[in-house]
Structure 1
Amino acid sequence: MTQVNKALTAFQVPIIDVTTDEAIFEGEGWDAVVVIATSLAEIKQDEVSLLAAHASQIDFRVGKSATLLFAPGLAGGRLIISPVTDSDNEYSDVRIFAKAAREGIAIAKAAGATKPLLVVPSVTDNRFANAEQVAALACGQELWQPLEARESKSLQPSLTAIGLLNTATHSLLLNAAESGRVLARDLCGTEPERMSAIGFAQYCVDAFADSGLAVSVVDQVEQLKAQYPLLSAVGRSSFDVARHHPRVVKLEYVGEGPITKTLFFAGKGVVYDTGGADIKVAGSMAGMSRDKGGAAAVAGLMKALSILKPKGIKVIAELGLVRNSIGSDAFVTDEIITSHAGVRVRIGNTDAEGRLVLADLLSHLRLQAQTAVNPQLFSVATLTGHVVRAYGGYPALVENSAAKKQGVAATLAEVGQLWGEPFEVSRLRPEDFDKIADKNGAADVVSSNNGPSSITARGHQYPAAFLIKASGLTETELAFTHIDIAGSAVEGDPLYGKPTASPLVALLQFSN
């Protein structure tokens, strides 16, 4: 096992299926019982129900806010009731269980528990069909710590395991998903020198050692310039600094049995975005080491697939890793650069660099998809401020006409809703294609306007039109869906908040 794999495994808290109510009692190996319930009446275990009901008579917080109770006879003598609020609200979704689970597991950790048992009583509302799994995954999000802190402080996981009391078996899926999410958070959240394009690529190579995935890295300068001309334009100023050279990571998963569908993912991995010649000013460069969240999420998805090993599918990914540096050799607006697909692109703004990276990746994937079984293409990127302006913390799905006919965005949105990673669905319009037309005809397309996307009408929709044109997808009937995760890649503080690995879980469920 590589050092990276050891680090990933060491810091992941395993989830263990528990199928008997006897586990709630002292002596069964657990040291706290954490109940995530919509009401005290929903608790099925008599011992827990009676204790909670009695406590609620003398402490009105019980059942209304997360509370630790002294519980002789129960595991560890600790009972934590973390209520799920607002379940009667017709607009609520399964994330209310995730919120309650995070509050409960945080109390368990602070109380000194190291092996808590999570109890999520089943509910009949279909909106909450995956409440157990979503609650368990939320614990992983709550417990993750940054890679730099783990290394510098020699941090170890505060918990050794989390039990999930249920009648089904969820642990394989949940542990696979969380393994991918740990990798994705590390890749997205680590500072730009440690997770440079070279560092990101090597972290992936190490993380996928012995995974069964086919892994390769494009690292030769001349090959990058010839095969990824738009990506190389973004990285042009970085070529003078050896440690900042771009990379393209290629990953492939092939499931057992006859292949029934093939998924292709392009991940934006701008490891640091200065804005280039259109430099970010007034403090807006802070946090731009997180502009690699798309590539990180795709890498995490591939990690999860390598563990879960779903049959009958093939998944191919390309991660474009590049630093958008400023310097004497930086690319500038008004340049016309020919993409891998042979499309002449006029640069409208060097701070709209992510779509250039994705266009070349998608062009390579397009060639493979043309002979694949039931292909669907996706791009995943922290692409625009406009998607945050439009949808807040929700990622957007923007599909081409072929994907719309197949119902790709509608299906993915439904999956995301049930798994606590909801999407908003946007539509491409003729105006989006008009916006990328080069008005004087010198180029085939313009990459962007020259203003911030957040104040540009249809600022997150029209980049999908650019991707379709610049990657050569216009000339095909291939289904393509663009996923803009700029609002969901981190939580809390948009600059330094905890990475979420969004939308890894939804994509994993969609893939199966």
Structure 2
Amino acid sequence: MGDCKSFSFEIKQEKDLAATGYDAIVHIHWPQQKEHHSKLQSALAGALKRDPSLASEVAILSSDLPAGRIVLSSAGPLDPDYDDVRSFRDAAYKGVKRALKAGVKKPLIHLQGHPDYEDAELVTLLGALEALHVPIQIRELKPENLPKIEQLGVVHADATKGSKLIELAKALEAGRRVARDIGDADPERMAPPKVQQYLEEAFKESSISLKVIEDEKEFAENYPLFEAVNRAASVVQRHRGRIIFMEYVPSGEVKETVMLVGKGVTYDTGGADIKAGGIMAGMSRDKCGAAAVAGFMKVVDLLKPKNVKIVSGLSMVRNSVGSNCYVADELIKARSGALVRVGNTDAEGRMVMADVLCRMKELALSAVNPHLFTVATLTGHAHLAVGEGYSIVMDNGPAKKAGTSKRLVTAGDALGDPFEVSTIRREDLAFHRGKAEGDDVMQCNNAPSSRTPRGHQGPAAFLLLSSGLEGHGSTHEKPIPYSHLDIAGSGGDFPNPATGAPILALAKAFLL
């Protein structure tokens, strides 16, 4: 079992850059920056004068400070119209990676604020921690690669603020580490039963309660759309699906309830509509939505918000192909009572979330100020529409009135976990309404999402229709805010590491 509870190196706060016991200072530079140590300032000024290109490069300089070296990494120049706080994440990430390449084992990172970015120091530290992460299977199969460093020192001009930043960064990074462990791991290491085992260990003796559903009869009775996708995998014991519910109940009065459903397709063959032409490779990342939800729950456990209740459901399933797999043309009665016609078995993500979302809807009817979310690497269209590194948020009517998308965009911009906003329209609902007599919902068409007009908005409409949430819109006596988050562009494509998006944005919006 991979260690998901602690860092493999010490994170230590230091008073200033003259601290001993370190072998390099990682310094993030940008124009008009004010230095806090005369020797550092002198070394940088001289180097930049000799080689102005260092203002946009990563370089190692000699220093009279005890660490002996300065790893200079630039975050600038910063264009106020188009750049954002991610420049600090990128600079810290590159700086630490360069330090590792030079054999640094005890880096000392220098955190400085920026007048235009309130959370620049936190984002800088998170970038450094991200660079130090080792994937779970490398930790397990090549333990000699761990740890990358022995100690990370952190210097901030304000010791009290620095201490708080370190603790917050550790909590956020712990959550992202859980998400990366699940998201990065191969289809066997994180098959549904292995995800259950990992989470039971990660949340042992925590503030988070777990309830696991694995009985196929219960799937068939209460989660029939999930059961259809799980059918082929169910004949192989180590691949059998799991629905994992997680809950956090705060110590104080509940003022808000956040309810999340994550798509956890541990491997997506496409099913009977099999992925051909080499596009099946990398489909172990189709579980990054559920991975992010699990990681968010780890942040919840560590921060323990006093007035927010959080409920989540992870739909962990393998979309296998075989004689027992579900096929196009099947008509399935969803938990909500809607008759769903299968159009293509490669549209399994919406299927495995719909019944769990319906269960969340039922819970939301008696919840305090509920906000429902689905989180999924759902469509190639989302990746094409907004590009790598961006999540998409789509609100239903009540969520739009509540300002959910704006809340997430603001939070994501602050911590470098950006969102773009899309809108669910009448055409999206019309597209997914049943076409054959008696059908209520059409699962999908037979073109890839990337070739389907409004290819990432449509699945959100499917989830509204198949879960029964459409009936809880703005005019209903009990409207329920619901937002669909498509993280196909931000979750991380193999061989790049899983990112843990949108944990930072969710944490900033609902926990901090």
Structure 2 match to 1:403: 399
**Deviation of 1:47 (Å):** 1.9
How many angstroms apart in 1 are the aligned matches of 2:481 and 2:437? Answer: 28
Residues 228-257 of structure 1 show CA distances to partners (whole Å, capped at 9, x for unaligned) of 110110111111111111101111112221
SS in 2 for 1:42: coil
Structure 2 match to 1:49: 41
Change (3 A) 1:257 1:41: closer
Structure 2 match to 1:111: 102
How many angstroms apart in 2 are the aligned matches of 1:89 and 1:409? Answer: 23
Question: Amino acid of the residue matched to residue 151 of structure 2?
Answer: A
**Deviation of 1:12 (Å):** 4.9
Question: Amino acid of the residue matched to residue 112 of structure 2?
Answer: P
SS in 2 for 1:291: helix
**Deviation of 1:46 (Å):** 1.8
How many angstroms apart in 1 are the aligned matches of 2:12 and 2:431? Answer: 52
Structure 2 match to 1:122: 113
Residues 65-102 of structure 1 show CA distances to partners (whole Å, capped at 9, x for unaligned) of 11111112x24211122111231241111001111111
**Deviation of 1:364 (Å):** 0.8
CA contact (8 A) 2:225 2:352 kept: yes
Question: Amino acid of the residue matched to residue 100 of structure 1?
Answer: A
Structure 1 match to 2:219: 224
Change (3 A) 1:190 1:218: same
Q: Name the stretch that deviates more: 78-87 or 106-115.
A: 106-115
Residues 111-152 of structure 1 show CA distances to partners (whole Å, capped at 9, x for unaligned) of 232232221332211xx2111111111122222222222211
Structure 2 match to 1:146: 135
Structure 1 match to 2:441: 445
SS in 2 for 1:34: strand
Residues 380-415 of structure 1 show CA distances to partners (whole Å, capped at 9, x for unaligned) of 000001001111121110110000000000110111
CA contact (8 A) 1:40 1:53 kept: no
Change (3 A) 1:208 1:423: same
**Deviation of 1:11 (Å):** 4.6
Question: Amino acid of the residue matched to residue 257 of structure 2?
Answer: T
Please say if 1:163 is aligned against 2:153.
yes
SS in 1 for 2:459: helix
**Deviation of 1:468 (Å):** 0.8
Structure 1 match to 2:360: 365
Instruction: Please point out which of 57, 65, 71 is paired with 2:63.
Output: 71
How many angstroms apart in 1 are the aligned matches of 2:32 and 2:17? Answer: 16
How many angstroms apart in 1 are the aligned matches of 2:312 and 2:146? Answer: 32
How many angstroms apart in 2 are the aligned matches of 1:441 and 1:45? Answer: 76
Alignment of 1:27-426 (within 5 A): 27=20, 29-39=21-31, 41-72=33-64, 74-125=65-116, 128-154=117-143, 155-166=145-156, 167=158, 168=161, 169-393=164-388, 394-426=390-422
Task: Structure 1: give runs of 5+ residues left out of the alignment.
Answer: none
Q: Name the stretch that deviates more: 344-353 or 235-244.
A: 235-244
How many angstroms apart in 1 are the aligned matches of 2:82 and 2:295? Answer: 30
How many angstroms apart in 1 are the aligned matches of 2:369 and 2:11? Answer: 34
Structure 1 match to 2:509: 510
Change (3 A) 1:322 1:41: closer
Residues 239-294 of structure 1 show CA distances to partners (whole Å, capped at 9, x for unaligned) of 11111111011111122211110000000000111101111000011011110000
Structure 2 match to 1:473: 469
Please say if 1:436 is aligned against 2:426.
no
Task: Structure 2: give runs of 5+ residues left out of the alignment.
Answer: 473-478
How many angstroms apart in 2 are the aligned matches of 1:59 and 1:37? Answer: 14
How many angstroms apart in 2 are the aligned matches of 1:161 and 1:482? Answer: 40
Question: Amino acid of the residue matched to residue 201 of structure 1?
Answer: Q
SS in 2 for 1:507: helix
Structure 2 match to 1:498: 497
CA contact (8 A) 1:26 1:77 kept: no
Change (3 A) 1:478 1:16: farther
Q: Name the stretch that deviates more: 223-232 or 395-404.
A: 223-232
How many angstroms apart in 2 are the aligned matches of 1:275 and 1:256? Answer: 44
**Deviation of 1:16 (Å):** 3.9
Question: Amino acid of the residue matched to residue 425 of structure 2?
Answer: R
Question: Amino acid of the residue matched to residue 327 of structure 1?
Answer: G
TM-score, length basis structure 2:
0.94
CA contact (8 A) 2:491 2:499 kept: yes
Aligned residue pair count: 498
TM-score, length basis structure 1:
0.94
How many angstroms apart in 1 are the aligned matches of 2:429 and 2:6? Answer: 48
How many angstroms apart in 1 are the aligned matches of 2:40 and 2:471? Answer: 62
How many angstroms apart in 1 are the aligned matches of 2:146 and 2:191? Answer: 25
Q: Name the stretch that deviates more: 33-42 or 214-223.
A: 33-42
Q: Identity rate of aligned residues, in percent?
A: 40
CA contact (8 A) 2:17 2:110 kept: no
SS in 2 for 1:76: coil
Structure 1 match to 2:485: 483
Q: Name the stretch that deviates more: 44-53 or 418-427.
A: 44-53
CA contact (8 A) 2:491 2:500 kept: yes
